[in-house]
Amino acid sequence: MGAAIDESIGSLLRVHGVRLKKSLGQNFLGDPVWLNRIVAAAGVAATDTVLEIGAGAGSLTRPLAQAAQRVLAVEIDGRLLPVLRAVLAGLANVHLHHGDILEQDLGQLLAAAGLEAGAPYKVVANIPYYITAPILRMLLEAPQPPALLVLTVQYEVAQRLAAGPET
């Protein structure tokens, strides 16, 4: 289903009766060139565990799963679970979790996906702008912070993160 995903995300969403929710800041990536660039930027290897926050329709989850040992994909919108199951069918290394990442115990979540305490993991995600700061805070202050963060964020958020003090 790999190459077909980028062409059929809209179709899958329609089949399952899913419309994007502005309130969740939903914006799905579909271009395989950009998806592969994100995976490459994270340097995902066959021994890696990757936490994906906001799995959406699975367009990033699938290439992550093809590169990593294990992917923990967290999605808040339960309407997307059937879409994710269809897109990720046959990928036994994906652990799908339905819930709000900000309300989860990160250590327990990672352990449930098979990550040993203290083992490194990477976070790769296309996160909504309105929860960028809380997610960054949660991850950076976690008892077991990620070894690497690769996040796509709204342009204005990236500008603010890169700005100097008092700008």
Answer yes or no: pTM beyond 0.75.
Answer: yes
pLDDT of residue 56: 83
Give the integer Cα–Cα distance in Å for 118 and 96: 21
- 133 within 8 A of 123, measured Cβ to Cβ: no
Give the integer Cα–Cα distance in Å for 130 and 91: 31
Q: Over the stretch 64-97, which tens digit does the pLDDT of each residue have?
A: 999 999 999 999 888 888 888 888 889 999 999 9
Give the integer Cα–Cα distance in Å for 112 and 157: 32
Tell me which H or E stretch contains 141: none
Q: Considering only CA atoms, which of 54, 97, 47 is closest in space to residue 72?
A: 97
Q: Over the stretch 117-158, which tens digit does the pLDDT of each residue have?
A: 899 999 999 887 778 889 999 999 999 999 999 998 766 767
Give the integer Cα–Cα distance in Å for 118 and 46: 19
Instruction: Report CA dihedral (109, 115, 118, 122) to the nearest 10 degrees.
Output: -80
Q: Is the pLDDT of residue 28 over 80?
A: no
Give the integer Cα–Cα distance in Å for 60 and 19: 19
Q: Is the pLDDT of residue 26 over 90?
A: no
- 69 within 8 A of 48, measured Cβ to Cβ: yes
Confidence band (pLDDT; 50, 70, 90) for 3? very low
pLDDT of residue 25: 54
| Residue entry with tokens 């395989």 | 32
Instruction: List Cβ neighbours of 32 (8 Å cut-off, separation of 6 or more).
Output: 3, 6, 63
pLDDT of residue 5: 44
pLDDT of residue 101: 94
Strands 49-53 and 122-126: parallel
- 42 within 8 A of 144, measured Cβ to Cβ: no
Q: Give the type of residue at 100.
A: D
CATH 3.40.50.150 for domain 2-162, yes or no, is yes
